[in-house]
Amino acid sequence: MLKFGVIGFGYWGPNVVRNLNQLEDVQVLAICDKSAQARRRVQKAYPHVEISADPHELLSSSKIDAIAVVTPVWTHYELAKTALQQGKHVFVEKPFTSTADQAKELIELAAKKNRKIMVDHTFLFTGAVKKISQLLGEGILGKLYYYDSTRVNLGLFQHDINVIWDLAPHDLSIMNHLISANPEAIVATGQTHLNGFEDVAFITLYFPDQLIAHLNVNWLSPVKVRMTLIGGEKKMLVWNDLEADEKVKLYDKGVDITNREGLYNLLVNYRSGDMWAPQIEQVEALHGELAYFVDCIVKDKTPVNDGEAGLRVVRMLEAACESLRQRGRLVYL
Ligand SMILES: NC(=O)c1ccc[n+]([C@@H]2O[C@H](COP(=O)([O-])OP(=O)(O)OC[C@H]3O[C@@H](n4cnc5c(N)ncnc54)[C@H](O)[C@@H]3O)[C@@H](O)[C@H]2O)c1
């Protein structure tokens, strides 16, 4: 029986607790939140769990094997560091840390203590991303041309981070997982309108071999959009995460240039074939992810969303914000 302590029971924490509780061989022993209101919600939902206002009670408890850090990003580093120092495995929310240096320190500490870090890049465990990963792995799309994601809605305004640190970790972690090459450079532009943090941002990532990625993240959109287009030489893919069925559609569409001798001799052939919507596994991603975390601990495996994966995302977030501050200067990664 693996015993967990969960720190943070705000918006996301209850999902982590609920999914941990559904796992066999896992017990949520204690939940901590600084807010009295959050602790009252814990008491009502989980009357038999130990409740605390002080994270150090959980972090120093010899009864706890693993800690889930589900608090705002600026608290992740200190809480995860203490947990690792106390010999606990750590499941930490995205984005992993506030700086790349903090992430590197935690990775080194985990290696020294022989403990696992898993960063909650939840989307990697969705049926849609698993299917897209499989299709790309099989080379169905051919050479990739572009990755273009729109993740916009009204709010939720965060009080400590801008829209890039809030929403882009999802896209960066997905992109990082799906595309084996690493981006070479990044350009980001954005604007603050209301609370001093950028609420609208556009990020472009340049990859080797003419692959380009673009992310649109926005807290000021009247409608919610979760749409990713992936264009390849052989096929093109549309992932609309708000679709109940047929979230992923694969289009046999493309462009073939048949004659390259001189501009006026170009023969552009537009291919427009069938559309296919593959079957997508319907599972709660967080459930699969937490089960995988437990499996990685028990079998001593390195998770795909380990500290290194978290660090890669934090590096891109830092570079994007550096570019943003300079109104879109190209920043090399
Ligand atoms: N993986 C996902 O899809 C996903 C979705 C939402 C949020 N998140 C991440 O989860 C984390 C929390 O986000 P949220 O939306 O739940 O925030 P939230 O503000 O709703 O909740 C955070 C909770 O942590 C508590 N807290 C803060 N510092 C604490 C400390 N030092 N000790 C104990 N309790 C403390 C607060 O009182 C609050 O109840 C963030 O890192 C966010 O990016 C991830």
Q: Which residues are within 8 A (CB) of 185 and not within 5 positions of it... i.e. 6 or more apart?
A: 205, 206, 330, 331, 332, 333
Closest residue to atom 40 of ligand 1, CA basis: 72
Sign for the pseudo-dihedral over CA of 186, 192, 193, 195: positive
State whether the beta carbon of 13 lies less than 6 angstroms from ligand 1: yes
Helix (H) or strand (E) holding 318: helix 307-325
CA of 21 to the centre of ligand 1 (A): 19
pLDDT tens by residue, 159-211? 899 999 999 999 999 999 999 999 999 999 999 999 899 999 999 999 999 99
Rg of the chain over Cα atoms, rounded to whole angstroms, equals: 21
Q: Do residues 94 and 313 touch, judged by C-beta distance below 8 A?
A: yes
First to last CA, the chain: 42
Question: Against a cut of 0.85, is the pTM above it?
Answer: yes
pLDDT of residue 258: 75
Sheet holding 117-120, edge to edge: 50-52, 26-32, 2-7, 66-69, 89-93, 117-120
Tokens at 38, concatenated: 């959050």
CA of 77 to the centre of ligand 1 (A): 13
Percent of the chain with pLDDT over 90: 92
CA of 260 to the centre of ligand 1 (A): 55
21 CB-contact burial (10 Å; exposed 0-12 / middle 13-18 / buried 19+): middle
266 CB-contact burial (10 Å; exposed 0-12 / middle 13-18 / buried 19+): exposed
Ligand 1 pocket test target in 43, 58, 70 with most atoms within 8 Å of CB: 70
209 CB-contact burial (10 Å; exposed 0-12 / middle 13-18 / buried 19+): exposed
At 269, the pLDDT band (50, 70, 90 cuts) reads confident
State whether the beta carbon of 46 lies less than 6 angstroms from ligand 1: no
From residue 179, alpha-carbon distances to 125, 139, 182, 183, 293 in Å are: 16, 12, 8, 9, 23
